[in-house]
């Protein structure tokens, strides 16, 4: 891991007020600023981020960046010159602690205030922390920022045994990277299968077998009661059944909590995230929210409001807001999609499988190239595609139109999914 770049508080001179102020410099915030300029918005734009770095991609953190295959510079969403040349002011290493919707201003952690005409809240979330004895011991890590991974990478130089708590995407991607680095890895999952919250059982069991074949030990239906330590540092993870898993280092990936407290305090409607409408407007005047922190209506979800943690969602919502501010009237209606890379497996998901009542397996998991198609009342609502990019691309149309198709044909990999498109 390369050394950190200089930590700069501000890249430009502060304006006392911006026509559009964006809080958060991740994918949602950065793409909102970019899209505003693409929409020919000529007003002033300011961005505030609590990290000291230029906006960068987060997905590689648990994969290529942790393994050292990708430098930080290659993760930048835009070079530094882009922001200055487009008149977008970046204010880094600073945090918004208060939103005053009446005065149209935010207050920063240093006590200073910045006014806004319209505010875009794009703060994402913070990792959900363990709530048990020893959870704050040195050697317990979370993966959310570049600084998180830099600290982790340094400690990995001396660590051999790693326990990963959480069998979701972050946990499994981290486990795959660590095995490639030659570490002994145990994954602990509280539920009875990995990826239980985001995928069907067939996909979960495939990934369990794949990780086991790579040498990862899996502990399912396993609760953590405490983190053991000695000499002020982690030495193991104690499970609810009394098992002690020796560990030189622990990685926790048990979800995130939306960063929305200043909006909640300001009176915004908040549930699982800050609630927004189809144009990403919060209940506060002139305040929008996008990305991981926004609970939004989604035509492809089983619930009235859903919070999605994906680059696609953050980017598409950012573009929606930019168009609204530029004077157009779009509505966010994108089909959700996700991806994950583990070992030689590229998983691409389109749609949301929650609430499905039937599953079609297309191809053979033994061939490490197959798709799982989810249906509800006979209609296609989602696909999980493992090393099947064509199914992912063609399956999107089936999800978009909630298509009906014969199960036998859906399950036959020799039948192209595009041949099952509904006639217009």
DSSP secondary structure of 29-48 = HHHHHHHHHHTT--S-EEEE
Q: Is the distance from CB of 50 to CB of 6 less than 8 angstroms? A: no
- Of 326, 223, 263, 286, nearest in space to 123 by CA: 263
**pLDDT number for residue 35:** 98
Q: Tokens 């989810």 correspond to what residue?
A: 374
Closest among 58, 61, 37 to 47, alpha carbons compared: 37
Which top CATH class is 129-254? Answer: alpha beta
Q: Do the two domains 129-254 and 344-420 of this chain adopt the same fold?
A: no
Tokens of 68: 């050292």
DSSP class of residue 324 equals: H
3 state DSSP class of 351: strand
| Average pLDDT estimate for 386-400 | 97
The backbone torsions φ and ψ at residue 145, rounded to the nearest 5 degrees and listed phi first, read -125, 170
The token pair that represents 372 in the structure block: 């799982």
Longest Cα–Cα distance in the chain: 69
- pLDDT digits over 335-363, tens only? 999 999 999 999 999 999 999 999 999 99
For residue 357, the model assigns a pLDDT of 94
* Residues contacting 389, CB < 8 A, separation 6+: 346, 348
Residue 375 pLDDT: 97
Q: Please, is 105 exposed, middle or buried when counting C-beta atoms within 10 Å of its C-beta (0-12, 13-18, 19+)?
A: middle
H-run or E-run covering 204: helix 201-213
Q: Where are the domains of the chain?
A: 17-126+257-325, 129-254, 344-420
Task: Measure the CA–CA gap between 236 and 218, rounded to whole angstroms.
Answer: 16
Residue 17: CB atoms within 10 Å: 15
Q: State the pLDDT at residue 101.
A: 96
* Fold type of domain 17-126+257-325: FAD/NAD(P)-binding domain (3.50.50)
User: CB–CB of 382/353 below 8 Å?
Assistant: yes
Q: Are 189 and 219 in contact (CB under 8 A)?
A: yes
Q: State the chain's mean pLDDT as an integer.
A: 94
Only one residue has tokens 């001396």, namely 158
Mean pLDDT value of segment 120-127: 96
pLDDT, one tens digit per residue, over 145-190 is 999 999 999 999 999 999 999 999 999 999 999 999 999 999 999 9
Domain 344-420 has CATH 3.30.390.30: yes
Q: Residue 424: which pLDDT band, with cuts at 50, 70 and 90?
A: low
Checking if the pLDDT of 7 tops 80, the result is no
User: Nearest 5°: phi and psi at 409?
Assistant: -75, -40
Cβ-count burial of 314 within 10 angstroms (0-12 exposed, 13-18 middle, 19+ buried)? buried
63-109 pLDDT, tens digit per residue, is 999 999 999 999 999 999 999 999 999 999 999 999 999 999 999 99
pLDDT at 2 over 90: no
Question: Per residue in 10-60, pLDDT tens?
Answer: 444 567 999 999 999 999 999 999 999 999 999 999 999 999 999 999 999
Low-confidence winner among 166-175, 213-222, 301-310, 409-418 (lowest mean pLDDT): 301-310
């Amino acid at each position: 891991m390369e050394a950190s770049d200089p930590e700069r508080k501000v890249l430009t001179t502060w304006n006392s007020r911006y026509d559009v102020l964006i809080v958060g410099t991740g994918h949602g915030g950065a793409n909102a600023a970019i899209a505003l300029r693409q929409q020919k918005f000529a007003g002033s734009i300011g961005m505030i981020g609590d990290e000291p770095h230029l906006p960068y991609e987060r997905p590689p953190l648990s994969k290529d960046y942790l393994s050292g295959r990708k430098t930080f510079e290659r993760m930048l969403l835009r070079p530094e010159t882009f922001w200055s040349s487009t008149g977008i002011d970046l204010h880094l290493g600073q945090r918004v602690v208060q939103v005053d919707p009446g005065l149209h201003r935010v207050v920063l952690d240093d006590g200073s205030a910045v006014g806004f005409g319209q505010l875009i809240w794009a703060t994402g979330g913070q990792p959900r922390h363990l709530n048990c004895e020893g959870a704050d011991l040195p050697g317990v890590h979370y993966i959310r920022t570049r600084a998180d991974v830099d600290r982790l990478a340094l400690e990995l130089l001396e660590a051999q045994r790693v326990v990963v708590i959480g069998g979701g995407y972050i946990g499994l991607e981290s486990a795959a990277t660590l095995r490639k680095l030659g570490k002994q890895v145990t994954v602990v999952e509280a539920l009875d299968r990995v990826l239980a919250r985001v995928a069907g059982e067939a996909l979960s069991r495939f990934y369990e077998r794949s990780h086991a074949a790579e040498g990862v030990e899996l502990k399912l239906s396993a609760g953590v009661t405490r983190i053991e330590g000695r000499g002020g540092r982690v030495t193991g993870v104690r499970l609810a059944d009394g098992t002690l898993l020796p560990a030189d280092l622990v990685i926790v990936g048990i979800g995130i909590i939306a960063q929305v407290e200043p909006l909640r305090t300001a009176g915004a409607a908040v549930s699982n995230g800050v609630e927004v409408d189809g144009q990403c407007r919060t209940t506060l005047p002139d305040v929008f929210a996008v990305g991981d922190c926004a609970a939004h209506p989604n035509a492809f979800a089983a619930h009235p409001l859903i919070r999605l943690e994906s680059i696609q969602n953050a980017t598409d919502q950012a573009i929606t807001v930019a168009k609204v501010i530029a004077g157009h009237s779009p509505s966010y209606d994108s089909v959700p999609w996700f991806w994950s890379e583990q070992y030689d497996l590229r998983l691409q998901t389109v749609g949301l499988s929650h609430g499905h009542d039937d599953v079609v397996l297309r191809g053979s998991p033994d061939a490490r190239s197959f798709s799982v198609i989810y249906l509800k009342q006979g209609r296609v609502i989602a696909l999980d595609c493992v090393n099947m990019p064509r199914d992912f691309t063609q399956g999107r149309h089936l999800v978009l139109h909630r298509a009906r198709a014969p199960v036998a044909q859906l399950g036959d990999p020799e039948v192209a999914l595009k041949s099952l498109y509904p006639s217009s």
